[in-house]
Amino acid sequence: MLQLQVIRENKEEIIKALSKRNLDASSLLDNILQLDEKRRAVQTQLDAALAELNSLSKEIGMLFKTGKAQEANLLKEKTGTLKEDSKKLGEDLNTTAEELQALLYQIPNIPHISVPAGSTEDDNEEVFKEGNIPTLSGDALPHWELAKKYDIIDFELGVKIAGAGFPVYKGKGARLQRALISYFLDKNTEAGYKEIQVPHLVNEASGYGTGQLPDKEGQMYHVGADDLYLIPTAEVPVTNIFRNEIVNQKDFPICLTGYTPCFRREAGSYGAHVRGLNRLHQFDKVEIVRVEHPSKSYEALNGMVEHVKEILRDLKLPYRIIRLCGGDLGFTAALTYDFEVFSTAQDRWLEISSVSNFETYQANRLKLRFKDEHGKSQLAHTLNGSSLALPRVLAGILENYQTPEGIKIPEVLIPYTGFNMIN
């Protein structure tokens, strides 16, 4: 969420920056500033009424002490009117503040200067590519057919149990899934991230804190009876650890990693491009989250990108890195790099990771602050990245490592799986 002071002081610059998202925010910002003026005017009136009420209360007390009860009672009538006025002003202030907050939630983050303008994923910029795309035999299969052939993932059984998008991993498929989770966590902890286990459901405040609400409310599974949401990513519970906290500057960088299942309704997703593991309602992901000093966050973002690169090099999967354009940028992100692995059997790139810097956008919602060297409270910067999301990594391994004899296991995973071939 953007800070009101920043909007007041930089309205035109913000309008220009948000145009990269193909958003004309001028009228929205005007409404916000008008509501802010009204809120401050009502606050001034309320403060004045309360101050007068406090002064009269003291005066009434003195009058009673000096035996001037008649004068005191006359003033008490005035305090009754002031109390009514204060009550109405307080209600008006709360209503105005709620309306203002609702409008602030509608403004996305300001894109970083390096974010290219653009409308769709076609306008994203490829900034890096590495790895050799293997040459497969003419009878190479996509991962959903490999899964059936070797009985390692059962999509139909998942439909029986829950519905489409909830696969059942079996035998060596389940062990490979577990191996990837352990490997990703080990790589992250070796890089200095502290492992943490978090709830898989969050309350509404947590959803608002990291920006999933109200923006992605329709994409989240909601448990109505308890007003809880199934997490779409570990980013939500992990980052909310710091909601309403003042962290110590000396503790930067704060680096956490965690594995969770993720739940996404993905409403309206149909067609061949979402077949098999390409898009699921439930999937596993290992996440990395950082809380940083503002002066270090882009250095940290670059470090996170290099970390994910190293994992993909270890897996020997061909991949590329995309800088998202304004039109494809997530609502809360200032800058995002997407990692995509090449699916040889599908002849297409599959997104497997997003690494993002949110700058102060989430921190302002979360009220996540630190004390600077002068003792002044400042908003921290938050970052997160997939390290990694499992379904498309698994799809890439199955398709790129297939041979006539079976599916080879990447060398780095063999100590985790205990086998080197699925056949």
pLDDT at 267 > cutoff 70: no
What's the distance, CA 226 to chain centroid?
22
Q: Which of 48, 75, 104 is the last residue of a domain?
A: 104
Distance CA 211, CA 52 (A): 41
Q: What is the total count of domains within the chain? A: 2
Range of weakest confidence among 20-34, 79-93, 352-366: 79-93
Tell whether residue 264 is among the known ligand binding residues.
yes
Distance CA 417, CA 279 (A): 25
Arithmetic mean of pLDDT over the chain: 95
Domain that holds residue 38: 4-104
- My answer on whether 161 and 188 are in the same domain is yes
In 76-193, at which residue ranges do the beta strands (DSSP E only) sit? 125-130, 153-154, 168-169
pLDDT digits 0-9 by tens, 143-162: 999 999 999 999 999 999 99
**With bands split at pLDDT 50, 70 and 90, how would you rate the model's confidence at 61?**
confident
pLDDT at 53 > cutoff 60: yes
pLDDT digits 0-9 by tens, 33-44: 999 999 999 999
Tell me what pLDDT residue 180 has. Answer: 98
Average pLDDT for 221-233:
96
**With bands split at pLDDT 50, 70 and 90, how would you rate the model's confidence at 129?**
very high
Distance CA 277, CA 284 (A): 11
Tell whether residue 353 is among the known ligand binding residues.
yes
- My answer on whether 242 and 390 are in the same domain is yes
- My answer on whether 192 and 306 are in the same domain is yes
- My answer on whether 336 and 201 are in the same domain is yes
Tell me what pLDDT residue 394 has. Answer: 97
Gap between the terminal Cα atoms of the chain? 51
Tell whether residue 233 is among the known ligand binding residues.
yes
**With bands split at pLDDT 50, 70 and 90, how would you rate the model's confidence at 395?**
very high
Tell me what pLDDT residue 404 has. Answer: 93
Which pTM value belongs to this model?
0.93
Read off the CATH number of the domain in which 66 is found. Answer: 1.10.287.40
Distance CA 170, CA 147 (A): 9
pLDDT digits 0-9 by tens, 275-317: 899 999 999 999 999 999 999 999 999 999 999 999 999 999 9
User: What percent of the chain lies above the pLDDT cut of 70?
Assistant: 98
Distance CA 276, CA 167 (A): 8
Tell whether residue 351 is among the known ligand binding residues.
yes
Tell me what pLDDT residue 270 has. Answer: 54
- My answer on whether 90 and 168 are in the same domain is no
pLDDT at 268 > cutoff 70: no
Tell whether residue 12 is among the known ligand binding residues.
no
Tell me what pLDDT residue 331 has. Answer: 97
Tell whether residue 290 is among the known ligand binding residues.
no
Residue 116 is assigned to a structural domain of this protein = no
